[in-house]
Amino acid sequence: MQKQFSLLVATVLGLASATALADTQVRLDTNLGPITLELADKQAPQSVKNFLTYVREGFYNGTIFHRVIDGFMIQGGGFTPDFQQKKTHDPIPNEAGNTLKNRRGTVAMARTSDPNSATAQFFINVKDNTFLDHREPTPQGWGYAVFGKVIDGMDVVDKIRQTPTGSGGPGGRFSDVPVTPVVIESATVLTGSPEPASSDAAPQPAPTPTTPSKPLKESQPHD
């Protein structure tokens, strides 16, 4: 009996440990269907903490995928359907040197030409975009920090990437905007990371979108 009890305790502790070590999952419910992300808690801790802060604050609820380029990526998390730019917390350090690559289905932080300017916007790669990977710690070589991957709903991502696009926003100054808004109706933490991430910084206006200098082959994701 004692042996059976010990085995039971060991099994329960093992399951609890496995749960504690599991990477966090987040579901994005869009008007085209759900997308489930698994976050790289250990390899991109600051990016994950930052993303979860916005998720738990409800920041992404009602935002859009405002930049969609088939054969490249889909970008969202910064604007409402009428292109009101949402206020964000302070930028975070670029974790692109974490060895994670911009492969199809991975999710990464968008930013301006400043490597350390990422705030809330993110993008999902719809193909292998190796030119976005970290090469060296220079403005041109920093790359874009991958912090997770799609584990369910890649068919939804493909629907989004195939949606017709055009000019949009105030004065039509944004390009590659879906003609019919693709809305993130809600973002929800499913598993892992039970403690809310804290942030003492007050939200601030997000950086004005810019086009990075010397783009590589295709325009790069920007905040």
We report the CATH number of the domain holding residue 36 as 2.40.100.10
Mean pLDDT of 108-135: 98
Residue 222: pLDDT over 60: yes
Domain count along the chain: 1
Residue 137 lies in a domain: yes
pLDDT band at 12 (very low <50, low <70, confident <90, very high): very low
The residue with greater pLDDT, 44 or 8, is 44
Residue 118 lies in a domain: yes
Residue 7 lies in a domain: no
pLDDT band at 44 (very low <50, low <70, confident <90, very high): very high
Q: Give residues with Cβ within 8 angstroms of 42, minimum separation 6.
A: 23
Domain ranges, residue 132: 23-205
Q: Which of 135-139, 165-169, 201-205 has the lowest mean pLDDT?
A: 201-205
Residue 33: pLDDT over 90: yes
Residue 145 lies in a domain: yes
How many Å apart are CA 134 and CA 147, to the nearest integer? 13
In the three-class reduction of DSSP (H, G, I as helix; E, B as strand; rest coil), residue 195 is classed as: coil
pLDDT at position 22: 75
pLDDT per residue over 52-80, tens digit each? Answer: 999 999 999 999 999 999 999 999 999 99
pLDDT at position 221: 72
pLDDT band at 122 (very low <50, low <70, confident <90, very high): very high
Question: What's the 3-state SS for 112-175?
Answer: CCCCCCCCCCEEEECCCCHHHCCCCCCCCCCCCCEEEEEEECHHHHHHHHCCCEEEECHHHCEE
Q: Which of 38-47, 50-59, 78-87, 197-206 has the lowest mean pLDDT?
A: 197-206
Residue 141 lies in a domain: yes
How many Å apart are CA 56 and CA 83, to the nearest integer? 22
Residue 17 lies in a domain: no
Percent of the chain having pLDDT more than 90?
72
pLDDT at position 21: 56
Question: pTM here?
Answer: 0.81
How many Å apart are CA 23 and CA 30, to the nearest integer? 22
pLDDT at position 206: 44
Residue 6 lies in a domain: no
Residue 125: pLDDT over 80: yes
Residue 221 lies in a domain: no
pLDDT band at 176 (very low <50, low <70, confident <90, very high): very high
